[in-house]
Structure 1
Amino acid sequence: MASLAPPETEVLIVAECWGAEPDAATIVHRAIETAASMVDADTADAELAVMLTDDAGIRTLNKNWRGQDKPTNVLSFPALQPTGGQSSEDGPRMLGDIAIAWETTRREADDEQKPFDHHLSHLAVHGFLHLVGYDHENDIDAEAMEQLERDILAALGIADPYADQDRVT
């Protein structure tokens, strides 16, 4: 059952290159609100942060957290959830953090001839799905996650991002 309320989303712009995309925060908010309305996850009284960074920043995160010394488009860091439950006095439940790199996002959008805002929406949705428990570690999970991404993006008026990709099974 989809949540009745989207999570509170804070968008932090930490790299000057995002100045070229003045609507980036609005795009991210819209993508996450739409995703939250369509997933079977409790996002009411929850929060997350999205950091809009550059390739250098995301490369550091990727190296430190995943052992991969290279930039990537998006990283998600799901928050550990308290084991004893949470009281309303504890404040919002943290879903986690998402980081998105401008240069990689721009390059991929240009290479795939997609509008930048569509690709940014896709990356925000992808990162959010990781925060609420979706993954693509095997073909079955990947197909389920990709179909959900397609459905969410369609609700945003964005074409299937996987339409031109051949899946290797």
Structure 2
Amino acid sequence: MIAPIDSDDLAPDTAAAISRARRSGALSSTVLPRIWAHRPELADAQITLQSRFYDSAILPGRLLELVRLRIASINQCQVCQTARKSVDVSEEDIACLSDDDGRFSASEQAALKFATALAADHLSIGGDEIESLLEHFSSEQAVELGMFAALMVGSGRLAYAFRALEAQQ
């Protein structure tokens, strides 16, 4: 396990970035950013990137939260699974997070299908899958979705590898 840096020992810029991200809802837990803080410049950049998906996203917050939680489930990242970043996603939604559940709109199903493939079997994504995604999203939205999903896959796997949940307790 890599221990998170104590909040009192964070570099001032990193502490400020974490505080801003918590206020905006981009971070619900500080444990992983405090692990990243072993490299403050990179932590600041990572927090800034993650925050952009919450302060200037073109996709709905509900859709991003569904994707985030689906990836958290695949990654088995308990820190990510327990965090909630949108009141627009109910516990019933979370209990049924699959890409074919009728409770989700066609665009949400398409996003969940893409996120599932990216997290579980990225080699299965071909031209047909991207064309299907573009039936529901503009190119700009599809790129945002892909970048968000990639960030969540990587961050969740890193949180698991660094045992962030153990560090949080």
> TM-score when scaled to structure 2?
0.29
Structure number with the bigger relative contact order (C-alpha 8 A, sep ≥ 6) is 2
Normalized per residue, the structure richer in helix is 2
Normalized per residue, the structure richer in strand is 1
> TM-score when scaled to structure 1?
0.29
